[in-house]
Structure 1
Amino acid sequence: MCFTIANKNPHWRRAMNLEFDALMKNGTWVLTSPSPNQNLIGCKWVYRIKRHADGSIERYKARLVAKGFHQQPSIDYGETFSPVIKPTTVRTILTITLSAGWSIRQIDIHNAFLHGNLFEEVFMHQPPGYNHPSFPHHVCKLKKALYGLKQAPRAWFSRLSTRLIELGFHGSLSDTSLFIYKSNKYTTFILIYVDDIIITSSNSFAIDNLLSSLQTDFAVKDLGSLNYFLGIEVIQNTTGILLSQKRYILDLLKRTNMLEAKPVSSPMASSTSLSAHEGEHFPRSDSLP
């Protein structure tokens, strides 16, 4: 969807206004006069409908994304690597916490990448539809990271991990996206996948205190008990949890126009009846060379 069409829809217009206001409140950029020696990159609006676990609409989301493919190495970006949580780590921590009966909470950091600090000079065109009326030809000098920048994930992870270390956590040696706090009274685990975060602890009050501390630095949204993470629906019951990817599979089928396709059993239908075959027997294994 292009900006011209989205701008005519009140849902998307409201979403763009919310995003732009958040950018301004965050001090993401300052306007400056353009210069011939600047490597000026573009930006665009990206639109997405965020849904609940049952598929119903949660909200309309508009995100301003920088065209990072215009960036030049050693000029407006350097290191770009940023870790993400390993699936085996997620399963291991869930197993530990469920067997111990710990609380599991999920949080989301609103506009997470915008909290990352930039150490390079990055210049960008003003967002479509939001040119400053007094300085329409000025450009944005970015002070904070923006989605689409090559260094944005690294900048965000650096900011978040620094804050967690200040709060007494340490990174796991086996997975740098797992942070651990351990004391004589309780243990807390934090699993990070970009801006989706799982917090579990042997003390539920420790989770509340941690959220209060994080809210002083970031816009934290408490999503309550864990129910959907990395395309996996988490269903808790009295005997444990069920991990299901039904919704994710349906999304894939819808995206590829395969919802009405005829299902095929793989590798074989369980109802298949096998009949005896009259023929030569296979040689015994001990007679093979």
Structure 2
Amino acid sequence: MKNNTKYLHYFPEIFNETIEDTNERIQRYRDHGLPLNAGYYYELLADGFQDIAIGEIILNGDFIKSKQNFYLAGKMQEVIYQKYDNKENNISGDYVTTDKYTRLLMALISDSEELTNSLATLFGGRMQEEKEDHVLHHSTGYALKHILLNDTENAIVYVEKLKKLESKKNMKLYTGYGVVLDGIVRKDIDQVNNGLNFMLECHKNLKYDYGDTPQELLSIPVLGLAKLAIRNEVHVNIEDTLVPATMFEIHKINYPIVDFV
């Protein structure tokens, strides 16, 4: 299936610029150490690695490099959590809110069990920083956390909160989170696949969140949730360019050494 989005025509240039910017950012660290706003440095790196990961699979068909870069994106979030909790480098609380649940999905996509478990453990538990978080981010993040940590009882609590969002018209794109996560908890194969396909169709409607960004070309939410389902022994049956089939292949991956934090 061919990807016909207009964004694909100019993504190669953006991809190359992102690689260049990310490498320059790391080199400045090597030359001068951390900038004063270290949290912003890690956040920019995480976003850069995310976009590079998308480019590696969409433009180059290299699922190994894609997963390595998703790993790096998730790793930056792990560093942020650790340094924030250790009160190092004046990391802002803005970087540890529950909207960072997407980095849990990136860890899942990377196939790094170590990173996935680490981020699940580190996610949440900062009540002051999270008090104004959107219910979607809060509930999705905690549902992911508890499913990953095999805490079904607490996962259900947050899945139920997500299901209550289904009646809100402005939440249509995100309805699938509750459907898929509920299906994973209950190991309902049809529900999981119906939810994933619903999310794909919403993703393609560009009046929502993904138009004219790298995420227009690859659905991190669907791919990450599909990986979570497979991890919990729920068969996934989706076929779309937004979730390249090669990303589901399991191979030994040598993850990059992170020495620029």
Task: Give yes or no for TM over 0.5.
Answer: no
Greater strand fraction, Structure 1 or Structure 2: 1
Greater helix fraction, Structure 1 or Structure 2: 2
TM-score w.r.t. length of structure 1 = 0.28
TM-score w.r.t. length of structure 2 = 0.30
- Structure 1 or 2, whichever has the larger Rg, is 1
